[in-house]
Structure formats: C-alpha cells, structure tokens
Structure 1
Amino acid sequence: MKTNVIHSIDKHVDEVLMALFLTGIITMMSVHVFFRYVLKSPLTWTEECTRYCFIWFVYSGIGYGVRNATHIRINILEIFFPKIVPAFSLIQTVITTAFFAYLIVPSIEVVVQTVQRNQFSPGMHLPMGCVYISVTLGLILGVIRGIQVLIDWIRTYILKRPATETVEGGVLK
C-alpha cells in the first residue's frame, strides 16, 4: 500500500503541480478581468500573481518534459538512422540531465542572493526568493526524471528487462 502511494505521487507530481499553477493562472486572470471590466476597479496584484504562477508552471514542467521526451530535441539522426535511436536518446538524456544538474548550484546562488538582498515583489510584496526557487525545484525535478529515464534505458537495453511504469516516454520510444 505504501509503495503504491509513493509510486502514484512519483508518477503524477509533475502533472499535479502543473495543474495547480494552471488553475491559479486561470483563476487570477478571471478575477482580474471581473474586477477590471465589471467592477471598474482593477486589482494590481492579480497580474503579478498570474506571472508568478506562469513561472512556476513552466519550471514545474521540466520534469514532465524529461519524463515524456517532449523537450526540443535534435532528431535528424533518428529520422535517417532509426537503428541508433536508443543510443542517441541515451546521449541526449545524459547531456540534458547533466546540464540540469550543473545549473542547480547557480540557481541556488541566485535564490540566496535574492533573499540576502531582501527583495520583494512590487505588487504582492512577496519575497522574490519564492519566485526564483521555482528554477531550482524545476531543475531538481528534471534531474530526478532524467535519472529515472536512464535507469529505464539500462533496464531495457542492457539488462533486457521491461521498463518500469515510472517513465512513460523518455528514451524508450
């Protein structure tokens, strides 16, 4: 039972985060339009909240993109040489995961600097570290999903076992 719950959270955390932030975007824009055009009294903070929900939406989607192999990729070699798709997908996943891992430390440094400078957003007076931490968390999700894709690649192409259900797309096309 406990394993099923953890598996379910692992499988759907990206979608849930993206759905929450997309719901926030739609809600905030609806409130903004209502106050601006119906009540003739626009709210200043709703536009800013929408922007921050969008930022969180984008960065929480990194893991989803890695897991489902929906990020922009160079696939010209895959088209002309379909037999090298597994090897080329492995190389792409390793490079992408390494790049995300490399960016984690600088993103943390930006968050720390922002917090140390005591920066706040103009409309909501939200600490800007809350906005910038989305980059770090998105990169961490990307690394986790990249590792899962690599594990499934090893299971499928080296150990000749079926892939787990963790990765739906990934390198296993």
Structure 2
Amino acid sequence: METTKKVLDKILSSICVVLFGALVLLVTWQVFTRFVLNNPSAFSEELAKYCFVWLVLFGAAFVFGENGHMRIEFIQDALPVKIKMVVQIFIEISIIFFSALVLLSGGLTITKLAWEQLSAALQIPVGYLYAVMSVSGIFIIFYCIYNIYTILKNKKPLEVV
C-alpha cells in the first residue's frame, strides 16, 4: 500500500505540474492574442478551462494524499489520543462516502450525460471535462483508505503536514 501511495503521489504531482504549466501557457497565449493581435484565440480559453478543472480536482486528490487540507485542529488537539483516532477515522469515512456519492457516482452520471455534447471550440465531448470527477473521487477514496490503514497500523493519529 505504501508503494502504491508513493507511485500515485508521483503521478499526481507530475500531472499537476504539467497541467499548471499548460494553464500558464494557455492563458498567456490568450492574453497575447486578445490584446496584442486583436484576434482572440478560440481554442485556448476552452482548453484553459479544461486544464483548470482537471488541475483543481487532481490537486485536491494530491493534497488528500499529503494530508494537507485545512482543518480546525484545536478541538482534536484537546482530545485524548484514542478519541482523536476515532474522530480522524470518522472524518475519513465521511470523506469516503462524500467522494463515492458525489465525485464518483455523480461524476459518472454527468459524464454520461455530457458525452454526446461537443465543446464549442475544441469539438471534443464535454464528458472529458467531467470525467476527472470520477477519477479524482477514486484517488481520494484510495487516500482515505490509506489514512485509515495508517491510523490503525501505527495506533496513533495522523500527523498534520
């Protein structure tokens, strides 16, 4: 499980770097064509939107793997270690249910609905935009299961990054 997490971390961080770089280039190109050439690029705005959505959802999954999301810790810090572990496991299970219901199931539903619709500029199925929801949901569920496994294996709460 440790090896899988490390490989997934490496893949997600690489994808996020590539998407961010592409987003910067696309937005720069859009600004250049709009204000310098007075002829805005048709594809770059739409492709930048796709990159941004994918970057946000893959980035969110990556941050789950790093256990780096914002949280209010002063309540958990006041709890005894055993209760803190139970609270963390409950939170991870809640996130699993949310990810399974909203990201995975909802993502599959909206992807199927949008697959027949073509994007205006790129002429590709809009389903590609929504497909990342399900993929990100799977990654988040994996990371939550990994976090629960780590809590139970180490018999101590997760450390905050």
**What is the correspondence of 1:46-85 to structure 2 with a 5 Å cutoff?**
46-81=44-79, 83=81, 84-85=83-84
Q: Could you tell me which amino acid in structure 2 is paired with residue 24 of structure 1?
A: A
Count of matched residue positions in the alignment of Structure 1 and Structure 2: 157
With normalisation by structure 1, the TM-score equals 0.79
> What residue is the counterpart of 1:109 in the other structure?
109
Moved more, 31-40 or 15-24: 31-40
Identity %: 18
Q: Are 1:10 and 2:23 counterparts? A: no
> What residue is the counterpart of 1:171 in the other structure?
158
Aligned to 1:123, the other structure's residue is in SS state: coil
With normalisation by structure 2, the TM-score equals 0.84
Q: Could you tell me which amino acid in structure 1 is paired with residue 134 of structure 2?
A: T
CA contact (8 A) 1:153 1:172 kept: no
RMSD across aligned C-alpha pairs, in angstroms? 2.4
Q: Per the alignment, do residues 7 and 61 of structure 1 end up closer, same or farther by CA in structure 2, a change over 3 Å counting?
A: closer
Q: Could you tell me which amino acid in structure 1 is paired with residue 158 of structure 2?
A: V
Q: Which of residues 24, 27, 34 is equivalent to 2:22?
A: 24
CA contact (8 A) 1:119 1:128 kept: yes
**Structure 2 portions without partners, runs of 5+:** none
**What is the correspondence of 1:33-48 to structure 2 with a 5 Å cutoff?**
33-48=31-46
**Structure 1 portions without partners, runs of 5+:** 159-169
d(CA) in 2 for partners of 1:113 and 1:66? 28
d(CA) in 1 for partners of 2:9 and 2:47? 28
Cα deviation, residue 134, structure 1? 0.9
> What residue is the counterpart of 2:118 in the other structure?
120
